[in-house]
Amino acid sequence: MRPHLALIEDDPDFALMCRSYLERAGFTVTWAMDARAGKAVLYEGGVDLAVLDLGLPDGSGLELLRALRSTSRLPVIVVTGRGAEADRVAGLEIGADDYLVKPFSQRELVARIHAVLRRSQPPELPTVLQVGALRVDSAARQASVDGVLLMLRPKEYALLEMLAAAPGRVFSAEQLLERIWGTSWQQAATVVEHVYRLRGKLAGLPAPAPRITTVRGYGYRLDP
Chunked in runs of 10, what are the mean pLDDT values of the chain (224 residues)? 91 94 95 93 87 88 87 87 69 84 91 90 75 90 92 91 92 85 70 93 88 91 92
pLDDT of residue 59: 81
- Give the C-alpha separation, 69 to 211, whole Å: 32
Residue 33 is predicted with a pLDDT of 94
Angle between helices 35-44 and 61-69 (to 10 degrees): 20
Q: Is 219 left (phi over 0), alpha (psi -120 to 50) or beta?
A: left
3 state DSSP class of 63: helix
Report the side by side order of strands in the sheet with 128-131. Answer: 128-131, 134-137, 142-145, 148-149
pLDDT of residue 61: 85
What domains appear along the chain, each with residue ranges and CATH number?
4-120 (3.40.50.2300), 128-223 (1.10.10.10)
